[in-house]
Amino acid sequence: MPHPLLNKPAPTITCPNADGEDFTFTPGASGKPAVVFFVPSVGTYGCSREMCGFRDQLVDGSAFSDKAVDLIGLGPNPVKDIKTWVTDNNINYTVLSDEKGEARKAFQCGKGLMGLSEGRISFVIDNKGIVRDVMDSVINYNGHVKFALKTIEKLNGESKPVAEATPTTTAPPAEPTPSS
């Protein structure tokens, strides 16, 4: 069953960042697409692999370049735990503490592993603030980066202007080459 936010406006959220300052994300406000992803718990093996995977994709020229996409990770951990983890792992994008679960609720994130864990859910949002695709999988932590990258590349392809048609010209026939 598709996620209820698919093809609908993503919610605006406000949560404390790793420095404890309120950070408000308003989808579409920057004019860039966004990846907003929720992890079950910052600092655990799978969550660290996923979050460091996103970090490693943030290089100039990539679809995840900070000039090309807003990247926001959220975990249920307290700010002090988020700060320690972000610092220890050289995270170069925004990570928010959703300790009260308000952002998770706004994005309609369910539980994972039959209710035993917070869900691991990634949302790709276009430059107008519309949720274009969602991945919900607690187990496949490595798949979230690949999913987001593929979807962002697809969105970037959709937003490129179509080249104007130009009249075609026929090239003169090639001169025959002598046989040996």
Contacts 24+ apart (CB under 8 A), 16-19: 16/79, 16/96, 16/97, 17/79, 17/82, 17/94, 17/95, 17/96, 17/97, 18/79, 18/82, 18/83, 18/86, 18/87, 18/91, 18/95, 18/97, 19/79, 19/83
Set out the domains of the chain in order of their start, with CATH numbers: 13-158 (3.40.30.10)
Range ranked top by mean pLDDT from 27-31, 52-56, 142-146, 161-165:
27-31
Residue 5 has pLDDT above 70, yes or no: yes
Residue 118 has pLDDT above 60, yes or no: yes
Residue 165 has pLDDT above 70, yes or no: no
State the average pLDDT over residues 137-148: 70
pLDDT at 167: 45
